Amino acid sequence: MIIITTQCFAPKIGGIEALMTGLAESISSLGKDVLVLADGKANLEEDKDKKYSIKRFEGWKPMRRRRKAQYLEKICNEKDIEAIFADSWKSVEYLHKEDKKILVLAHGTEIPKQYWTLMIDKFCFKKNRIIKSYNNVHKIIANSHYTRDLMLSSLKIDIKKIEIIHPGIDIYPDFISKEEYEFVKKIIYKKNPVITTLARVEKRKGHKFIINAINELKDQFPDLIYLIAGKGPYLNDIKKYVEDLNLQKYILFLGWITEPEKSLILKSSDIFAMTPVTSGESVEGFGMAFIDAALHGIATIGSDDGGIKDAIIDGKTGILCESNNQSDISSKLKMLIEDKKLRIELGYNGQKNAEEKFTWKMKVHEYLNAANI
């Protein structure tokens, strides 16, 4: 049996949720017996008819983690466990099973930055908790070189204990409903180019950089449109910013969209643009959104912040801009808009790279190999 213990899992939406759900589904598709220990209410309709088992845990977070760890130890004593995959150090903090192969995934955001060592004791206490949790596991799987290097500099983790495995991604079925097709067709009718950002709307995602670029380029490219899909705490601020610049004609907010709608919008777009910038402890540890876009055959442009350099091969599968540099972002977006041949080339290379290196069909074996399975 393989156990996946996680705070983040479907039907919740998010990058880590998609990662842990994809890991469970891909391992079980190989005929492995998989048990998922996840947060949330029991007996969810979405949990039925799965190839793997799901046990949910509710309640106050600290107690929930302890109960989950106690249950996991009980299962370890009763079953033959090949490996345990955890979504973060928090999911193994109360687990004491040094005789089992425990692999913890690291995403970047949860790792304290180096300056924490100079801050007050409560932060150092959390840092010590993280180090203690990592010391008790078999291996740490970092999602990018950036995340690995952050652990080395901030936590002084033994490099031999860390393995870099980029997240996997699903190829979404081509089927879409007539309603979904009409929804997208109405949005992009006679628009060129179509620039898209699909992400949680929060300050660090860098939506304002793209909006500023649109403001600079709108007179030269009057038919362009910028689509912002997603929800988040920064949504109202961004909407007001667009109104203040009088850009409603060029920028549309789609809110939350379905997976088929997302897939069709990406296929119908010319450029996927997202230029994150690290904000406090929040960072783009890898940048799965760029791989998702590339899988749909469109050119991508992103900042060189965090782990994005692992997701975009600059000049080959996409374009990297200097983080927090409006001039560089605007000029490179303009370059992509003007050069259709380059967009097609980047889209082709990006799609090939995503299909060959990032689909779960390929990635699942990397995770299992890390556990010597």
The domain made up of 178-357 has a fold known as: Rossmann fold (3.40.50)
Q: Which residues pair with 84 in a beta bridge?
A: 3, 102
Work out the angle at residue 94's Cα, subtended by the Cα atoms of residues 91 and 95, and round it to the nearest 5 degrees: 80
Tokens 């687990």, residue located: 95
The lowest-confidence range among 137-146, 167-176, 293-302, 329-338 is 167-176
Provide CATH 3.40.50.2000 ranges for the chain: 2-168+359-370, 178-357
What is the pLDDT at residue 174? 58
The pLDDT value given to residue 38: 96
Measuring CA to CA, which residue among 50, 16, 47 is closest to residue 34?
Answer: 50
Residue 225 has pLDDT above 50, yes or no: yes
pLDDT score of 115: 47
| pLDDT tens profile 53-72 | 999 999 998 899 999 999 99
User: Residue 212: what residue type?
Assistant: N
pLDDT of residue 8: 94
For residue 193, say if its preceding peptide bond is cis, omega within 30 degrees of 0.
yes
User: Highest mean pLDDT range out of 109-113, 119-123, 146-150?
Assistant: 146-150
The pLDDT score that the predictor gives to residue 116 is: 45
40 dihedral zone (left: phi>0; alpha: psi -120 to 50; beta): left
Instruction: Output the CA–CA distances (angstroms, integers) from residue 230 to 189, 235, 328, 337, 373, in the order listed.
Output: 21, 9, 25, 23, 38
Task: Give pLDDT, residue 140.
Answer: 97
Percentage of residues in the chain having pLDDT higher than 70: 92
pLDDT at 178: 64
Mean pLDDT, rounded, for 337-347:
96
Higher pLDDT, 173 or 343: 343
Per-residue pLDDT for 123 more than 60?
no
3 state SS of 297: coil
Q: Identify the band that residue 120 occupies on the pLDDT scale cut at 50, 70 and 90.
A: very low
H-type alpha helices, the chain? 15-28, 61-78, 121-135, 145-154, 178-188, 207-217, 235-244, 259-268, 288-295, 308-311, 326-338, 340-357, 360-370
Model confidence over 150-200: pLDDT tens digits? 999 888 889 999 999 999 998 765 555 666 667 676 777 667 899 999 999
Please tell me whether the peptide bond between 173 and the residue prior to it is cis, using omega within 30 degrees of 0: no
Which of 254-263, 285-294, 311-320 is the least confident region?
Answer: 254-263
- pLDDT over 80 at 76, yes or no: yes
C-beta of residue 175 within 8 angstroms of C-beta of residue 263: no
Sheet holding 319-321, edge to edge: 251-255, 225-229, 194-198, 271-274, 299-303, 319-321
Q: Please tell me the pTM assigned to this model.
A: 0.90
Q: State the pLDDT at residue 245.
A: 98
Find where tokens 């007539």 sit: 178
pLDDT at 308 over 90: yes
Looking at residues 314-318, what average pLDDT do you find? 97
What angle do helix axes 235-244 and 207-217 make, rounded to 10 degrees?
A: 20
SS3 27: helix
- Asked whether the predicted pLDDT for residue 298 surpasses 60, the reply is yes
- 3-class SS at 186? helix
Per the prediction, the chain carries an average pLDDT of: 91
User: So what's the pLDDT on residue 271?
Assistant: 97
Cα 104 from Cα 107, distance rounded (Å): 10
Q: How many CB atoms lie within 10 A of CB 101?
A: 18
Residues 108, 279, 228: CA angle, nearest 5 degrees = 95
Does the 2-168+359-370 domain belong in CATH 3.40.50.2000? yes
DSSP, residue by residue, 46-88: GGTT-SSEEEEE-SSHHHHHHHHHHHHHHHHHHS---EEEESS
Listed range (264-268, 301-305, 321-325, 363-367) with the worst mean pLDDT: 264-268
Does residue 121 or residue 369 have the better pLDDT?
Answer: 369
**Average pLDDT for residues 6-16, to the nearest whole number?**
91
pLDDT at position 331 over 80: yes
